[in-house]
Amino acid sequence: MIDTHTHYLDAAFDPDRETVLAGDTIIIEQGIDITSSMKAAALARTHENVYAAVGIHPVNAERELPHVGDIKRLTAEKRVVAIGEIGLDYRYGGRDVQREVFISQLRTAKEYSLPVCIHCVRAWGDMMSILREHRPAGVMHGFSGSAEILHEVLALGMYVGFNGSSTNPRNKKALAAIRDIPLDRLLLETDCPYSVPKGAAAARCDSTLIGFTAEYIAELKGIPPQVVMDTSDENAYKLFDLKEKGHD
């Protein structure tokens, strides 16, 4: 099983990080600033089941602006498979800087032929115009956009990630997106420690709970959960080029 979006460097895992990482799930750990991106690359170096995404999250854009060029250096690490987590989040200010940092990292991804892991909250207008212009390969993680946006994201050739937050039945946009999305564009993720999926009795999310999200999706699509999991894995191998990066 591949968990395509995790935050195991979060303080929530300080007490037992090594134990949790000892499982056999393959994970793609996301950077949120330069420090966590360096740590994610180091984690990938020392753990056979870990790959890293390096990037500056929009909520850190203002603080990390001077380091945006340093992300390039980290792409040289062998097990860095994506630029992430990057994007726009208009619940927070500094929108001009967010766009600048996001676009700069989309250019880095193009330059180094890496896919991107994108976070978007309440910024769909600007997000779509930037994606139309830059056309990155990658995934819209924790997708919460409208049906119209979903179809445009798919037309751009991108993948769409779903996690525990997508399993909340009040999340009507996620529900519609799950029904609509072709299986060959779907990626499972946990975004752990955030987003405990529906049905899981846990205070903190981790990769072992990914099956709950797969079950929710499977039920909506009327197919077996195993098919959802296997297809997501195949998609992840393809998008992140995992075999090429030394895992079989």
- Chain positions contacting Zn ion, by CB under 5 A: 85, 191
Rounded-to-integer distance, Cα 212 and Cα 77, Å: 33
Contact predicate 128/161, CB 8 Å:
no
Q: Give the position of tokens 């769409």.
A: 160
Q: What tokens were used for 174?
A: 């996620």
CB of 191 or CB of 215, closer to Zn ion: 191
Q: Rounded distance, CA 88 to CA 97, Å? A: 10
- Provide, rounded to whole angstroms, the least separation between the CB of residue 5 and Zn ion: 5
Q: How many CB atoms lie within 10 A of CB 194?
A: 16
40 three-class SS: helix
Q: In angstroms, give the least distance from the CB of 222 to Zn ion.
A: 29
Amino acid, single-letter form, for residue 43? L
User: Helices 147-155 and 124-134: crossing angle, nearest 10°?
Assistant: 10
Burial class (CB in 10 A: 0-12, 13-18, 19+), 82: buried
- Residues 126-152 as b/e (b if ≥16 CB within 10 A, e otherwise) read ebbebbeeeebbbbbbbbbbeeebbeb
Q: Tell me the C-alpha distance between 211 and 225, whole Å.
A: 8
- What is the largest distance, in Å, between two alpha-carbon atoms of the chain? 48
On the question of a cis peptide bond just before residue 182, with omega within 30 degrees of 0, the verdict is no
